[in-house]
Amino acid sequence: MKRIAFVLGLLWSAATLADDVQVAVAANFTAPAKQIAEGFEKETGHKARLSFGATGKFYAQVKNGAPFEVLLSADDSTPARLEAEGAALAGTRFTYATGRLVLWSSKPGYVDDKGGVLKMGGFKHIAIANPKLAPYGAAAVEALTSLKLLDVIQPRFVQGENIAQTHQFIATGNAELGFVALSQVMKDGKVGAGSAWVVPATLHQPIKQDAVILDKGKGKPAAQAWMEYLKGDKAKAMIRSFGYEI
């Protein structure tokens, strides 16, 4: 009986220590974040409550009092800005991944491996995420500018609110092709369905994605545990498997 009581006491203690953490996640990081959250819960007992969307919108929501405790941004400037404005905890910010931009079509053979389809121009619509809200959209504009194709292609833009909606436009055929995050089209270490060109990183600024504990996560063990798990080898391996660099 004493042993049963002891075991029950341990279980009760673990349950009382476990907590939830509210995490705002950039839309491009949806798939890896879900995998990481599963491992995080198994190892720590804490549960990550994930919300996905555009980094720019998350910034506005945090400033308006949204209950997020951690931000996984699609850039490095938004977490730095929140920290400077006192809405994020100083010293908690770090780069958890560096993203890669890809030109993708759901049609096999449509996008060549050098992006020549952009110069050929045989398409009516090309999807990008809102460059004012989504860093991958901004990177797409930078890449087209570097290629001296922006003025020609811009009238054909179909603009998604975030990178997830942009991917949907292409997947459903509403746009023949478009710029998304490599992680969205990776499967088993390579591009899955359709065709793609991984945009050279030299054509745009590095897409450094930073994480930071927000003001509402101050003193929350689950928030700190999430950040530590994100820095660990298991999470890093998951992140790399989706085409990100560490």
141-168 pLDDT, tens digit per residue, is 999 999 999 999 999 999 998 899 999 9
| Pair 100, 198: CB distance under 8 Å | yes
How far, in Å, CA of 162 to CA of 155, rounded? 19
Average pLDDT for residues 77-84, to the nearest whole number? 97
How far, in Å, CA of 107 to CA of 110, rounded? 6
How far, in Å, CA of 180 to CA of 195, rounded? 12
Average pLDDT for residues 55-75, to the nearest whole number? 96
Distances (CA, A) of 219 to 19, 20, 101, 146, 190: 12, 13, 36, 45, 40
Tens digits of residue pLDDT in 2-23: 454 443 343 333 444 679 999 9
Average pLDDT for residues 44-54, to the nearest whole number? 96
Q: Which fold has domain 19-98+206-241?
A: D-Maltodextrin-Binding Protein; domain 2 (3.40.190)
How far, in Å, CA of 47 to CA of 226, rounded? 9
Whether the predicted pLDDT of 1 surpasses 60:
no
Q: Which fold has domain 100-203?
A: D-Maltodextrin-Binding Protein; domain 2 (3.40.190)
In the chain, where does the domain assigned CATH 3.40.190.10 lie?
19-98+206-241, 100-203
How far, in Å, CA of 181 to CA of 199, rounded? 10
Tens digits of residue pLDDT in 206-217: 999 999 999 999
Whether the predicted pLDDT of 120 surpasses 50:
yes
The pLDDT of residue 17 is 61
Quick one: angle between helices 233-241 and 221-231, nearest 10?
60
How confident is residue 116, by pLDDT bands cut at 50, 70 and 90? very high
| Pair 66, 213: CB distance under 8 Å | no
DSSP bridge pairs for 7 = none
